[in-house]
Structure 1
Amino acid sequence: MSEPVVLAEPEWRAREDAHVARMRKWTVPHAERRSRGEKHPVLDFLFTYYSHRPSHVERWQPGFGVVLAGESAKRFLERRGYLETEDGVTVDPAGFTPARERTARFVSSLLAATASRPARLNCFGLHEWAMVYRQPHDEVRHAQLPLRLGGPGTDEVVESLEVRCGHFDAFRFFTPEAVPRNTLSPARETQLEFEQPGCLHANMDLFKWAYKLGPFVPAELLGDCFELAADIRELDMRASPYDLSPLGYPAVPIETPAGRAEYARAQGAFARRAAPLRARLIECSDTLLSGCTVAGRLCDN
């Protein structure tokens, strides 16, 4: 196990301030909307589908193997999972419980399997269309928004294009009529076999895997994954059947060849941006599995 990195108080406090300021770009408007009882069909997803609370998104953490020097570091002891050493305050390796070890193993395996595959860029965001296929409009998830092409036009797009969704957490929201139209049959049990680096949802989920590893992941990496998820979410909804123009989101009309080409270009750019974040999460998981001590034993025993 490598020696811990000791951060002087001015250094870690500057990093903390930078992270908080960065995340408040999303958390403050979200809190303001909630106070008004206002829903946002694009951005709420980051705080409702994902279970990391806004206050925790803002919260800075050093990650595993980092010691915070200085008197003010003692406030981290008020959080669960930190301990004081002779050099300062650090994440407690004992918090890497057997349950979190299982999570780290799954994250490492899933992300490595995903990274091993070429990016597939021909799904064109049809998962959102399949979620409203042949559905009465008052029953769709964002019933407050009109469908750009109306119900019949939306159904026609689903019927005219090949649906190729391999992400189970998108596929499970397909309408019953849309399920047999999918050329793939992803399931929770086969998640490692299906996820691929071009998938928007697999790349958004890097944020989920970052927060699932708890305080052992540095806040800067979690923030990078959150920012990626926020940017991908915009494309996800701009390419959806909903009309988001009143909210300032121009459509990516995947029902046209030009729209599909635009979508594939953006999807490819997100895949390239996600790749180093995926690699960092794999490295973080593997470091935890090889270096953490739980109740007097090495986690990888």
Structure 2
Amino acid sequence: MTLAREGWLGREAAHQQRADALTAEHRARSARGEKHPVWDFLFTYYGYKPAQLRRWHPGAGVELADAAERASWRWYSPGASDDAVVPDAAAFAREKPELAGLVERMLRRTASRPGQFGCFGLHEWAMVYRAEEHRHPVPLRLGQAGTDAVVESHDLRCTHFDAFRFFTPEAVPRNRTALSRDEQPLFEQPGCLHAGMDLYKWAMKLGPLIPGELLLDAFELARDIRLLDMQAAPYDLSAWDVVPVPIETADGKSEYVRRQRGFAERGTALRSALLTAWFGDGARAAA
């Protein structure tokens, strides 16, 4: 596929406008020097700046006509005509073979598994279990004793290493599985909120191989999941108008699972779209 200059410039402008709208509140808070316990995560934990989110790419194999200004961009190769360029998946794989292999394994293996929906967001509770200091300078909704009691009355079933690694030492042995970085692709599953948020990370790492529209879809999914993640957390976020989902109750669990399933469905569709954009038909066997 080749996009004429007028066409791809229009898509680029639409992408930039959408990205600016998605990051407007964060940029305004940053200018005022304000912190936010919910939304800053999308920019601090993942480490990508609004300017990076704003950069549009067409996706692997999509040629941009009359795009000489992109000739020096990373992982772009010359197209079929003068001044045409195309994002090159093969160039990415040659330069970043380990990263390419990791991202593909994470996407394909996660997609191959059924979702699990019995964790109830207790990873955030395990991060403050029996802790004197907490990752967020925010009071606990049930206090320390009440928070510890919730952890002790539940089975911890976290499958996401990047959540598990923040468990307190006392919470680690309570998890059903001892997770490790090397074995992360073996346990990641589509019901996990953080696996859904990480689709934004993988899309960003693939750079020009992913259409800008899909990148922003991934960011929006991460944003929506982040809200539930913190609504279900043990923190009292009323000062930021965050209404809790009390997972220590039957009604709270029910609401959490209902929304978790919806995010899993969105993540499954997006995971498939990322693979299709990267590999064309998305039909390669799992690594």
Find the counterpart in structure 2 of residue 52 from structure 1. 48
Find the counterpart in structure 2 of residue 76 from structure 1. 70
Superposition map of 1:271-286 within 5 A: 271-286=264-279
Find the counterpart in structure 2 of residue 183 from structure 1. 176
CA distance in 1, matches of 2:7, 2:225: 31
TM-score by length of 2: 0.91
Residue pair 1:101, 1:289 contacting (<8 A) in 2 also: no
Superposition map of 1:214-293 within 5 A: 214-287=207-280
- What amino acid maps onto 1:181 in structure 2? R
Distance 1:174 1:108, change over 3 A: same
Alpha-carbon shift at residue 284 of structure 1 (Å):
3.6
Residue pair 1:100, 1:213 contacting (<8 A) in 2 also: no
Alpha-carbon shift at residue 267 of structure 1 (Å):
0.3
Find the counterpart in structure 2 of residue 24 from structure 1. 20
Greater alpha carbon shift after TM alignment, 211-220 vs 197-206: 211-220
User: Which one of the candidate residues 65, 86, 93 is aligned to 1:91?
Assistant: 86
Q: Is the counterpart of residue 142 in structure 1 residue 127 in structure 2?
A: no
CA distance in 1, matches of 2:281, 2:40: 32
Distance 1:154 1:15, change over 3 A: same
Q: Is the counterpart of residue 103 in structure 1 residue 89 in structure 2?
A: no
- What amino acid maps onto 1:91 in structure 2? V
Find the counterpart in structure 2 of residue 34 from structure 1. 30
TM-score by length of 1: 0.87
Distance 1:83 1:183, change over 3 A: closer
Residue pair 1:105, 1:289 contacting (<8 A) in 2 also: no
- What amino acid maps onto 1:223 in structure 2? L
Cα deviation code 1:53-85 (max 9, x no counterpart) = 210101111122122224xx3333464343554
Distance 1:119 1:202, change over 3 A: same
- What amino acid maps onto 2:165 in structure 1? R
Distance 1:111 1:57, change over 3 A: same
Superposition map of 1:195-214 within 5 A: 195-214=188-207
CA distance in 1, matches of 2:109, 2:87: 29
Residue pair 1:65, 1:90 contacting (<8 A) in 2 also: no
Alpha-carbon shift at residue 15 of structure 1 (Å):
1.3
Superposition map of 1:121-160 within 5 A: 121-136=117-132, 139-143=133-137, 145-160=138-153
CA distance in 2, matches of 1:87, 1:277: 34
Cα deviation code 1:222-261 (max 9, x no counterpart) = 1111110011000000100111122122100001010001
Q: Secondary structure at the match of 1:62?
A: coil
Greater alpha carbon shift after TM alignment, 238-247 vs 281-290: 281-290
Alpha-carbon shift at residue 88 of structure 1 (Å):
4.0
CA distance in 2, matches of 1:224, 1:257: 32
CA distance in 2, matches of 1:207, 1:91: 22
Q: Is the counterpart of residue 192 in structure 1 residue 192 in structure 2?
A: no
- What amino acid maps onto 2:268 in structure 1? A
Cα deviation code 1:100-138 (max 9, x no counterpart) = 2332222222222111111111100000000011111xx
Structure 1 gap segments, 5+ residues each: 292-301
- What amino acid maps onto 2:115 in structure 1? A
Structure 2 gap segments, 5+ residues each: none
- What amino acid maps onto 2:120 in structure 1? F
Q: Secondary structure at the match of 2:252?
A: helix
Cα deviation code 1:205-232 (max 9, x no counterpart) = 1111111112111111111111100110
| Aligned alpha-carbon RMSD (Å) | 2.1
Cα deviation code 1:14-45 (max 9, x no counterpart) = 21122112122232222221121111111111
